[in-house]
A = this chain, B = another copy of it.
Amino acid sequence: MKRNEEHLDRAFMALADPVRRALIARLSRGPATVNELAEPFDITKQAISRHISVLEGAGLITRTRDGQRRPCHLDPAALEALTGWIDEHRLNAERQFRRLDKLLTTMKEEEQ
């Protein structure tokens, strides 16, 4: 449980940065090396490498070896674990709202 909490901490923290979100958006269209990922950004390759390490540490991306290349890959299952957490609570909240709406409607009907 504690381990899972730490994983959620790291993963949500990794998403809380516009450059890292742009890297995820790029990787969702296919794997890419650090050089390829750095190209469109106006920041150093070192800075991009650090952002990639954060994403890798959060389990959102993995790196494989392909000869001299070490492309980064997005892990859809890791993203799904995050939407799973959020959706569980969103659906609970929506259920609560519907229950409250129903209660208010019943109260109004009984008043009349």
Q: Which residues in A have some Cβ–Cβ distance to B below 8 Å?
A: 5, 8-13, 15-18, 21, 24-25, 27-30, 74-76, 79-80, 82-83, 85-90, 92-94, 96-97
The answer to whether A83 touches B74 (Cβ under 8 A) is no
Would you list 6 pairs from A and B whose C-beta atoms are within 8 A, ordered by A residue? A8-B18, A10-B16, A11-B16, A28-B90, A74-B89, A82-B86
Q: Which of B17, B30, B93 contacts A79 (CB 8 A)?
A: B93
The answer to whether A28 touches B92 (Cβ under 8 A) is yes
Name A's interface SS: helix
The answer to whether B74 touches A79 (Cβ under 8 A) is no
Q: Which residues of B contact A80 (CB under 8 A)?
A: 90
